[in-house]
Structure 1
Amino acid sequence: SMAVPWEEYFRLALQEKLPRKIPEQNVHQFPPVLRLLEKRQELKAADQSLRAQKEVFQTTMAALQQRWEQLEQKEQELKGSFLRFDKFLQDAEARRSRALRRAAEEGHCAGRQEAEARRLWAQLEELRRERALLQRRLEHLAPCARLLGQVLERLPEESKWIQIQNTAAEKTLLLGRTRMAALNLFQVVCQHQRQPPNLDLEDTEGQLEQVKQFIQDLSGMLASLRQAE
């Protein structure tokens, strides 16, 4: 609020309305009663002027007070707007910082994903090359596979044939051993009879027949000796 110097204001206003000096000729021209009336008229006019100026002053002061209050309200509104705008700027800066960090993270993540995609693509190409190589090898081995299938189909027959061959080999070995034993017996008989071998080495049946005959003769001789005793 503003202090109003009413007394000083009215004193200055009254001095402006009242004449500062009465001319010499007027003092002697008017009688005292007329001068008194004149003073009253001047005071009345001055009072009316002062009242009018007072009303104008009060109106002006009220307008100034209202304007002052409006300015204070406007200042508070501007302060609030400034605070809200400052907060808006801070929030915008925070959102911008988060967006930059997110963009950087997404860019880094995108880089990793792109590198992983390139690695997987290279691995896929390598697998395709290996598959093509295996396909060529399979095509090259297809005749061998068919032949192997045929061999597997004939394997039971081959197994039987091998078994027969093994059995024949065993019998051949046994036959060879039998012939060797017969030849040895035949040679022993020939030495006992003091006769040279008169049969072919391959004539196993003849050799066994002479060995049989020798055994029978020897058995008969042993029987005669027992009877003689």
Structure 2
Amino acid sequence: MSVPWEEYFQIVLEEKLLAEKPPAHEDGYINHAAQLLEKKQEMVEVEEALRAKKEEFQVKMSALKQRRKALEQKEDALKESMVRFDKFLKDTEAKQSRALRRAEEGRQTAAQKEAEAMALRKELEGLIKRKEQLERKLHKYRPFARYLEQVVSQSEEFQEIPELMARFSGLSEAQTILAERQQALHKAVEEARAELLKLVEEKNDEILHQNNRVADLQLRLEEVRAQALRWESRWVHIQNTAAQKTLLLGQIKMAALNLFQLVCKQKKEVPALAVEDTEGQLEQVQWHFQDLSATLAKLTKESLDPPPLTTRPLPRGKLLTEEAAGQRRSAGAPGPGAGCGQRAA
């Protein structure tokens, strides 16, 4: 609990002004009043400085809390972005796997078509050979046409030449059928080859597109990882700074405790405040230094300007009236020496 030092000093000064009698000479009274006003002005300045320090500390603590909250929000957003990006990568890998599977199916289909085309080419080659054989035979047997006429005229099997022409027409029709079949097979081979080339080109384009997309995603992944490393470095720096502040606060508390123990040791009293009550310890140290300063000022004043016989200064312990002391006790403010217990044996 903080101690209202300003209120206490104001009560002490007012009671001192009411309790002390004015000096016999007017100049002494004026000097005394001027000193009181100067002390009061110093107290006001100290109060304003203390208030300014408290406000500055509160502003800094508020800014630090806001900054820490913003960093936590950014960290949560970054984690959420990493989760979405991992999901996106998984979806992309699944799509790439499906594309590769379709490409493999296309390659298998193309291989099957190529095998069928090879079979058709072999069949075509066989038919061409058969045609050539027939043409050779026809050319070979043409010189015998006249001989056949003679044979027909002389043979009993063929009575007329149309019978021989019918036989020739049958052979000609067979040749035409073979030619048409050869042309159809050739056209089928060309169509299969064109379809195969088109399918291979489409699959190559799709594979190239997927490779480019994977490269872009890999680059984005590296950028996100670099950004995560930068934020992690900043977070470590903030933690190190907080640790340094905590160490400094511990050193300040230890110094305050040492000063308080020195004061109690000088007063030959046992420390009565808790070790964690740093504020109360500093207040007791301040009280002690104020008492020493007042005692030194009093001794200096008495040595330089002895008080008149008609005026006897009251002891420091009697400056507060019973009413003021009761008010301070009801307010809960500790007095001088409240932090030290009984005198050491």
More helix by share: 1
Relative contact order (C-alpha < 8 Å, sep 6+): which is higher? 2
